[in-house]
Structure 1
């Protein structure tokens, strides 16, 4: 296997003038050999950095996702086959700005929109706060659930979390490599657009650089994904900014154009302001609890701005203004705290009856 992998490595690592892109099938094979650790450590490290320097193509990313489908986990479709929103956020977490992705998910779930999030523990290159730790800080531990229990949580509470160290352990082999090479490999892009759900999906993912958005759009087209929202978000997440214009590309079934471009100016809706800094996990959790209690703050404004947009984008509200009003109402009436309590009860019951 290492001899076969060497030929694929030579293609992507031969320099700026002589390298060759992998076919979709070759990229899938390379990914399988990496995740199964059939290639040697030297080959894997060389491939990750060479592929980053070369820049992946949409066809290569599609092949890598094919391998994820083959080796990874998939949550079975829900009864009635509703559209499930899968939120792809950077696995290396957030380190500069306070994330509201978790509260956005609560808001959607409280409004009847099923949501899946996924990720693991603290990792390179940012070593930021991962989503699973924020959930744990709010009293909900997703790390012990089986995939069946994740499905049950999604069915019952309209929220599920895939903890990749348990549900897709092959990806853990990449964690040390990310630390050692000190750069995000193309697998970081794969994580953002991975869809571990068997039914109808709406992908939400963030990006930083315009080329990444283009790679994502091309990959999703090759994969037949026709319902997505890509956001030039805070630190590559799907959180909309408040200090600048939110740049968003969307596609939904039936669109005649490859994608629709949105530019939302927060000042036009009364939400312009400084991003809330991330000082510490403890402070973040205190701020989130204040938002759940209905207390006014800059973070609450960020939650309403994001929640309102996604309530509109997911079809709960007919216009953005309606979404913003509904988001504020969900906060002031305690609906998010109620949703959090429902998830906590379900997950705690599952954890008590695990194994």
Structure 2
């Protein structure tokens, strides 16, 4: 048993009237001791439940993210015309709506705006469709690559995916606890804010999905504490970065200027741009893959409309187009001209060209 960890656990687990918040340094220490499994399984499970009940503060989340930065994989900076967009979505996947972020990311990459996603396999408690299975359906075997190879693919194609089981095994070791405690721990919130690409770099654009407004508030303050220069918060489908078409998109636009956070609220109404409609239902993976192939051929359809709605917004947000309307037009043109399909083939080829390696580069 770790007595150091026990003291930290006592702070967050003493009840609603006597519990106290951790400092940023203490939160980083507690996170490190859990990820390195220096705390016992009982201590780790108790901390996860207690911290969930108490609710992590932005200061604590900043400390947890500090630890993720020190222990987790970090891709190197790349040169690009536009900021590298990192899409942060819940790791436990989708159960109701079809994810369009992989095609959105491919569209951004086809426009010269790099994109990175990250996640793992099917994960408790939701056990929804994870992004890795969508990529596999499209023929992209990210799970085969080392972190060095992901870096190589990102540099040559503008697209990357960090796969938790191989690239961040210390965080992957926490996944069984989610099943055992039956609830999302604060780590699930950290995953919505963490970036495997240097988030303090001025050529990064961090996108964080959320469901509940308090999560967005904590995200905004946490990013300010960590001096995250350029970020977007999205009340997306199932907490993802996917903009809904069935309701107004609630978006936060954050940017640091001279150390001060400029945060603006954007309410994006689909009907104002001709995109109003039902959100796409989740299909079986074979059906979803077939639908994506139709989209990549530039053919119209409900899912195509959702892709243009999303890709157009993010093209504008990362500066690839001067207006949102121009973003929608460029996204549609890239899909219809076959540029996104060609980008998928390019990424598939880049992954295939990576020599098989068994020595996985997982962390610093």
Same fold (TM over 0.5): yes
Name the TM-score, length of structure 1 as normaliser: 0.97
Which residue does 1:173 correspond to in 2?
173
Rounded to whole Å, the distance in 2 between the matches of 1:114 and 1:81 is: 9
Which residue does 1:33 correspond to in 2?
33
Match of 1:278 among 278, 282, 287: 282
Match of 1:334 among 327, 333, 338: 338
Match of 2:273 among 269, 275, 296: 269
Q: What SS class does the counterpart of residue 202 from structure 1 fall into? A: strand
> What are the Cα deviations for residues 125-179 of structure 1, in whole angstroms up to 9, with x where unaligned?
1101111111111111001211111111111000111111111110111110011
Once the two structures are superposed, the pairs formed by residues 82-121 of structure 1 within 5 Å of their partners are 83-121=83-121
Once the two structures are superposed, the pairs formed by residues 272-351 of structure 1 within 5 Å of their partners are 272-351=276-355
Which residue does 1:217 correspond to in 2?
220
Rounded to whole Å, the distance in 1 between the matches of 2:105 and 2:316 is: 14
Is the 1:145–1:354 Cα contact (8 Å) retained in structure 2?
A: no
Count of residues in Structure 1 that have an aligned counterpart in Structure 2: 355
Distance 1:82 1:152, change over 3 A: farther
**RMSD between superposed Cα atoms in Å:** 1.5
Is the 1:11–1:21 Cα contact (8 Å) retained in structure 2?
A: yes
Which residue does 1:74 correspond to in 2?
74
Deviation at 1:83, TM superposition (A): 2.4
Is the 1:27–1:63 Cα contact (8 Å) retained in structure 2?
A: yes
Is the 2:255–2:261 Cα contact (8 Å) retained in structure 1?
A: no
Distance 1:253 1:171, change over 3 A: same
Where do 5+ consecutive residues of structure 2 fail to align? 360-364
Rounded to whole Å, the distance in 1 between the matches of 2:355 and 2:81 is: 26
Rounded to whole Å, the distance in 2 between the matches of 1:171 and 1:189 is: 13
Is the 2:86–2:116 Cα contact (8 Å) retained in structure 1?
A: yes
Q: What SS class does the counterpart of residue 196 from structure 1 fall into? A: coil
Deviates more, 1:79-88 or 1:160-169: 79-88
Is the 2:233–2:251 Cα contact (8 Å) retained in structure 1?
A: yes
Is the 1:266–1:272 Cα contact (8 Å) retained in structure 2?
A: yes
Is the 2:92–2:127 Cα contact (8 Å) retained in structure 1?
A: yes
Rounded to whole Å, the distance in 1 between the matches of 2:46 and 2:234 is: 31
Deviates more, 1:116-125 or 1:72-81: 72-81
Which residue does 2:206 correspond to in 1?
203
Deviation at 1:197, TM superposition (A): 1.6
Match of 2:257 among 232, 238, 254: 254
Is the 1:101–1:238 Cα contact (8 Å) retained in structure 2?
A: yes
Distance 1:307 1:81, change over 3 A: closer
Once the two structures are superposed, the pairs formed by residues 10-29 of structure 1 within 5 Å of their partners are 10-29=10-29
Deviation at 1:284, TM superposition (A): 1.1
Which residue does 1:192 correspond to in 2?
192
Q: What SS class does the counterpart of residue 140 from structure 2 fall into? A: coil
> What are the Cα deviations for residues 244-292 of structure 1, in whole angstroms up to 9, with x where unaligned?
0000001134386530100000011110001111031121111111111
Is the 1:144–1:351 Cα contact (8 Å) retained in structure 2?
A: no
Deviates more, 1:343-352 or 1:264-273: 343-352
